[in-house]
Homo-oligomer: A and B are copies of this chain.
Amino acid sequence: MSVNGTISHEIASLLRDEILRSQYRRGERLPSERDLAARFNASRGAVREALSQLEQLGLIRILPGGARVQAIDAASIAILGPLMAIDVLPDPLLVDQFLQTFGALAALTARSAINQASNEEMRNLQGMVERLGKHAGDFGAMQTRWREFLEYLATVADNLVVRLIGNDLKAQFVEQMMNLGINPVMKPATIKQLVNSLKLALASKDAELAATTIQMQFDELRMAVGEAISLKQASYQKQAV
**Interface of A with B (CB < 8 Å)?**
4, 8, 45, 48-49, 52-53, 55-58, 62-63, 72-80, 94, 97-98, 100-101, 104-105, 107-108, 112, 159-165, 167-169
Protomer copies? 2
Contact B167 A74 (CB under 8 A): yes
Minimum C-beta distance from A71 to chain B (A): 10
Minimum C-beta distance from A163 to chain B (A): 5
Question: For A167, what are the chain B residues with a Cβ–Cβ distance below 8 Å?
Answer: 58, 73-76
Contact B8 A52 (CB under 8 A): yes
Question: For A72, what are the chain B residues with a Cβ–Cβ distance below 8 Å?
Answer: 160
Contact B53 A97 (CB under 8 A): no
Contact B56 A101 (CB under 8 A): no
Closest B-chain residue to A78, C-beta based? B76
Contact B76 A168 (CB under 8 A): yes
Question: For A112, what are the chain B residues with a Cβ–Cβ distance below 8 Å?
Answer: 100
Contact B105 A101 (CB under 8 A): yes
Q: Chain A's interface: helix, strand, loop or mixed, by majority?
A: helix
A53 and B62 alpha carbons, distance in the complex (Å): 13
Contact B97 A159 (CB under 8 A): yes
Contact B100 A164 (CB under 8 A): no
Given A100-B108, A105-B104; A164-B57 close (CB under 8 Å) = no
Chosen A-B contacts, 14 in total, with CB atoms closer than 8 Å, are A4-B62, A49-B49, A52-B52, A56-B56, A73-B164, A73-B167, A76-B76, A77-B77, A77-B168, A80-B160, A100-B162, A101-B162, A104-B108, A105-B105
A77 and B168 alpha carbons, distance in the complex (Å): 8
Question: For A165, what are the chain B residues with a Cβ–Cβ distance below 8 Å?
Answer: 77, 101, 165
Minimum C-beta distance from A184 to chain B (A): 18
Question: For A105, what are the chain B residues with a Cβ–Cβ distance below 8 Å?
Answer: 101, 104-105
Given A53-B53, A107-B104; A164-B75 close (CB under 8 Å) = yes
Question: For A52, what are the chain B residues with a Cβ–Cβ distance below 8 Å?
Answer: 8, 49, 52-53, 56
Contact B76 A164 (CB under 8 A): yes
A80 and B77 alpha carbons, distance in the complex (Å): 14
Contact B162 A97 (CB under 8 A): yes
Given A76-B76, A108-B104; A94-B45 close (CB under 8 Å) = no
Minimum C-beta distance from A115 to chain B (A): 11
A112 and B97 alpha carbons, distance in the complex (Å): 10
